[in-house]
Structure 1
Amino acid sequence: MVSPLGIYVSVPFCKAKCSFCNFASDAFGPERMDGYVDRLCREIAETRLSVARMDARLERTVDSVYFGGGTPSLLSAEQFRTIFTTLRDEFEIRSEAEITLECAPGQLSEETLEELLGQGVNRVSLGVQSFVDREARAVGRLHTRVMCEEEIARLRRAGIRDVGIDLIAGLPHQTEGSWRESLERAIASGVEHVSVYMLEVDEDSRLGREALKGGERYGAENLPSEDESAALYEVACEALDVGGVRQYEISNFAREGHTSRHNVKYWKRLPYIGFGLDAHSMLRAGEGAVRFQNVDDLDVYMGDPSELKVLPQKNAKPDPEFVSREAAFEESLFLGLRLVEGVCFDDLQREFGVELVAAVMPGVEESREAGLLDVSEGRIFLTARGRMASNEVFCRLLISATA
C-alpha cells in the first residue's frame, strides 16, 4: 500500500539563540530570511529531479507538513504564501492534512496567523520549555508564563485545532516542585499534545559546553544532575497520564486522537522529505529505502546547489545513504520500540523474514528478564523502566543480532 508523503520544512531563524540549543539555527536579519525563502523554494521546485537521480519514489500526495526550526513563525505572511504556493505546485496536499507550525510564544503576528489559517495550518507546537519564569529566563527564552498562557488562548480563539507545547526536564534552577508546576499548568491549559525532552548536555550548545567544563555561565552550576533529570522525566510520565495526556512515544504525550501524524512517520519509517537547512529525508527506493540530508551550514546551503544533499556525517561526499535490508530491520525495531505500542513480530517477519527476527530474540529475552522489555499478544514494547534506558535496550538487541 502506498503511503502519503510527509514534508518537513526547516526554518533556521530565531530572535535569539537559546543557551541549550544544539540545532542548526541562529538569529539573522530580514534580508537573509528573504534569500533563504528563495533558496528553499528553488530546492522544492527542483526536488523531483534530484530524487529521480537516486531512483527513489517521491509520492505526490501529502498528508502532513511540518514547519520546524528555529522559529518558523518569524517568517512573514507573504513568505509563507510563497512557500505554500511552491509546495502546492509540486505536491497535492490533502484537504485533511495535518499542517504544523513550531512557534515561540509571543512571536506570531496576527497577519501571519491569519495567512497560516488560510493555508490550512491546523496544529501549532509552542516552545514553552518551562512555565516557570526563572527557568525560562535562565536559558535565554524571551517569554513569561503569562505570555505562554495568553498565546495558547489566542490560538484557540483563532481556530487552531491542535495546540501542543514542548517542556524540558533538567533546566537550570529546576526542582521537582517547579517541574510539577509546569506540568500542572500544561494540563490545566488543555493543550492536546505535550513533548517532554531531557536537556542534552553536550558540546553542541553554549550551556552544554559550559557545564562540561564546570563553569558557571548560562546557569550551568544550577543544572540538576542526570539522576535528578531522570526522576523529573518519571514525574512527567505519571502526572501527564493522570491528567489525561497519555504517553505514546518516549518523549511525546497526547490526549486521545491528537498524536502527531507527522512525527509518527519517523518512528514507523513512512516516507518523508525535508527541505531547507539540515533537513532530513527518507524515501522508498526499489525494495528498500534511501536516506539523505541537507548541509547544516547556512552559507553552503545558500550557495552551490550541487553541495546540498549530503550524508549524515559532516564533510561527507554528496551521496545518499541506501538502507540495506539488515539496516532497515534494525531501524524498524529501534524506531518502533520508541512507540508505547511497540512493534509486532508478524509485521517484522513479513517484511524482513524469520531469520532476522530470530537473531534478536536472545537480546529480547535478556532485556525482558532485566525488566526493560515486555512481550504480549505478539508485540514487544519497552517497559516504563525500559523507556528510561532505551539506549541500553537497543545495544542489547544490536549485539544479539550481530552475534
Structure 2
Amino acid sequence: MAGIYIHIPFCKTRCIYCDFYSTTRSELKQQYIRALCTELKTRKGYLKEEPIETIYFGGGTPSQLAHEDFEQIFRTIKEVYGTEHAEEITLEANPDDLTEEYVSMLRTLPFNRISMGIQTFDAPTLKLLNRRHNAAQAIAAVHRLRQAGFRNISIDLIYGLPDETDQRWERDLQQAVGLDVEHISAYHLTYEKGTRIYEMLQSHRISEVDEESSVRFFSALMDTLGAAGYEHYEISNFCKPGMYSRHNTAYWKGIPYLGCGPSAHSFNAETREWNTASLEGYIKSIEEGQRSSETEILDKVTRYNEYIMTSLRTMWGVSLTYTEEAFGTELRQYCTKMAAPYLQSHKLEMQADRLHLTREGIFVSDGIISDLMFID
C-alpha cells in the first residue's frame, strides 16, 4: 500500500505562525493544476505499482480550489494510479470556506475525511493569528459537514499561544470536545524563523509561554481528551477508537508515499525527495520537463533513526523484532542498551517486544528519541 500527498499552496491570507510553503498568487491556479497533473503522470513509477490507500490534499489552503480543479486532479489520479483501494481521502479546509454550497460540492467528490484548522476558539487570538474565521463559523462548519453526511472530521488546535492561560486553554478543549469530532490534532506553537509571529517575539511585542505552563497545557490536553474517550495514538494526535489518520500514520510507519506540488516530500523506503519550494519555479520546471527537486539516498542508519523518531511517538511504539530484521543485530542491541535507563526510570515500558513511552516519558520524549538514535 502507498499514499499520495497533493500540496495546494494557495492562501487568501498568510497566518502569522505558518512556515509551510504557501502563496497568495491565485492567478496561477490553473497553470499550477496543469503542472500538478503532469507531475502525477510522469512520476507513476516512484511507488512501484503499490495500490493507493490514502490521498491527502494539504496546503496552503486546499479549500481554495473549485469543483473543476478537484475533478481534474482526481481524474488524473484515477487514470494513472487507480483509486479502488483508497480508503481515506482527506481535504484540509478553512472553516470559513465551508459554506453550505461548498460542502454540498465536496459531497459530489471522493472526499471522505475533512481536516479543519480551527486553532483556537478565542476571538482576540484568532485575530492576532490572522485567521479568517471566527469561533461561530468553525462550529457552524462542523455542523454543516455533519448534516451533509461527513462521518470523519478532524480539527487542529494550537496551544502555548501568546497570553495563553489555563482557563482559556480549558475553554478551547471543552469546545473542541463538544463538537464530537472523530479526530483532534493539537500542537504547541513554535516560533519559526521567517514567520511574522517570530518577528513579533523578537521585537518583544508578544512573549513566549514558560515551560511550566506548556507542561500544564499538555497535561490538560491528555486528561481532557482521554476523559472524553479519545485515544492518544501519537504525541500530537487523538482520535475516537479506530479513527486515527491513516495517511499520517503511514508516514510514521514508513509506508511509501508520493508528494506532488511545490515543497512536497516523497518517500519510497530507499530515497526521500522534495520539490522546489517555489510555485513559479515548480511550474516552470514541470513545463520544461525537468522537475526541480532534491533527492536523499537513505542508508541503513538514516532509516533506523527515522524509524526511532517516528515510531516512538506513536502508541504502537518501537518493535525490537522489526528493528533487528530491518537494521541488523548491532542497531537492535544499541537500541536496547540506550533504552535501559529509561525503562528503569519508567519513562519507557516494554510490551511484548515493543518499546513505548509512558505518560512520564512523553514529557521528555525529544530527549529519549535523541538518545535512542544512532550517531557515529
TM-score tier by shorter-chain length is over 0.9
Measure the CA separation in 1 of the matches of 2:258 and 2:190. 26
Q: Which amino acid aligns with 1:126?
A: M
- CA gap of 1:28–1:72, structure 2 versus 1, over 3 A, is same
User: 199, 204, 224: which is aligned to 1:215?
Assistant: 204
The 8 Å contact of residues 276 and 294 in structure 1, kept in 2 or not, is answered as yes
Aligned 8 A contact 1:99 1:122 in 2? yes
User: How many Å apart are 1:368 and its aligned residue?
Assistant: 2.5
1:153 equivalent in structure 2: 143
Distance apart, 1:351 and its partner CA = 2.3
Q: Secondary structure at the match of 2:133?
A: coil
1:19 alignment partner, SS class: coil
Instruction: For 1:59 and 1:160, locate their aligned partners in 2 and report how far apart those are by CA, in whole Å.
Output: 30
- What residue is the counterpart of 2:31 in the other structure? 35
1:229 to 214, 221, 240: 214
**Quick one: distance in 1 between partners of 2:273 and 2:281?**
16
* C-alpha contact 1:196 1:233 (8 A) present in aligned 2: no
1:269 to 254, 269, 272: 254
Secondary structure at the counterpart of residue 96 of structure 2:
coil
1:233-312 to 2 correspondences below 5 Å: 233-284=218-269, 289-305=270-286, 308-311=291-294
Which residue is equivalent to 1:135? 125
CA distance in 2, matches of 1:332, 1:175: 35
Distance in 2 between residues matched to 1:196 and 1:307, nearest whole Å: 38
Q: Residue 348 and residue 95 in structure 1: after superposition, are their counterparts in 2 closer, same or farther (change >3 A)?
A: closer
- Greater shift in the superposed pair: 267-276 or 389-398: 389-398
What residue in structure 1 maps to residue 3 of structure 2? 6
Tell me what 1:192 maps to. Answer: 182
Verify: 1:355 aligned to 2:330, yes or no. Answer: yes
AA aligned to 1:39 is A
Of 338, 347, 350, which residue of structure 1 is paired with 2:313?
Answer: 338
Bigger mean CA deviation after superposition, 342-351 or 18-27: 342-351
* RMSD of aligned residue pairs (Cα, Å): 1.8
Amino acid at match of 1:327: T
User: Which range moves more in the overlay, 343-352 or 275-284?
Assistant: 343-352
Contact 1:43 1:275 in 2 (8 A): yes
Deviation track 1:230-261 (CA, whole Å, cap 9, x = no partner) reads 32122101110001112100110000121000
Deviates more, 1:227-236 or 1:7-16: 227-236
Give 1:137 shift. 1.4
Provide the rounded CA distance (Å) in 2 between the counterparts of 1:323 and 1:338. 21
Q: For residues 170-217 of structure 1, what are the alpha-carbon distances to aligned partners after superposition, in whole Å with 9 as ceiling and x for unaligned?
A: 112321111111111111111000001010112131102321x2421x
Please, which runs of 5 or more residues in structure 2 have no aligned partner? none
Between stretches 358-367 and 69-78, larger displacement belongs to 358-367
| Structure 1 stretch displaced more, 88-97 or 188-197 | 88-97
Cα drift, residue 113 of structure 1: 3.2
Correspondence for 1:315? none
Question: How far apart, CA to CA, are the structure 1 residues paired with 2:321 and 2:327?
Answer: 10
Q: What is the CA–CA distance in structure 1 between the aligned matches of 2:290 and 2:121, rounded to whole Å?
A: 41
Structure 1 runs, 4 residues or longer, greater than 6 Å off: none
Once residues 192 and 244 of structure 1 are traced to their aligned partners in structure 2, the CA distance between those partners, rounded to angstroms, is 10
Mapped partners of 2:325, 2:30: distance in 1: 48
User: CA contact under 8 A between 1:74 and 1:108: conserved in structure 2?
Assistant: no
TM normalised by structure 2 equals 0.94
Tell me if 1:173 matches 2:163: yes
Report the TM-score when normalising by structure 1. 0.88
Whole-angstrom distance in 1 between the partners of 2:214 and 2:25: 33
Query: Counterpart of 1:327?
Result: 302
Q: Which sections of structure 1, spanning at least 5 residues, go unmatched?
A: 52-56, 312-319
Give the C-alpha shift of residue 76 in structure 1.
0.6
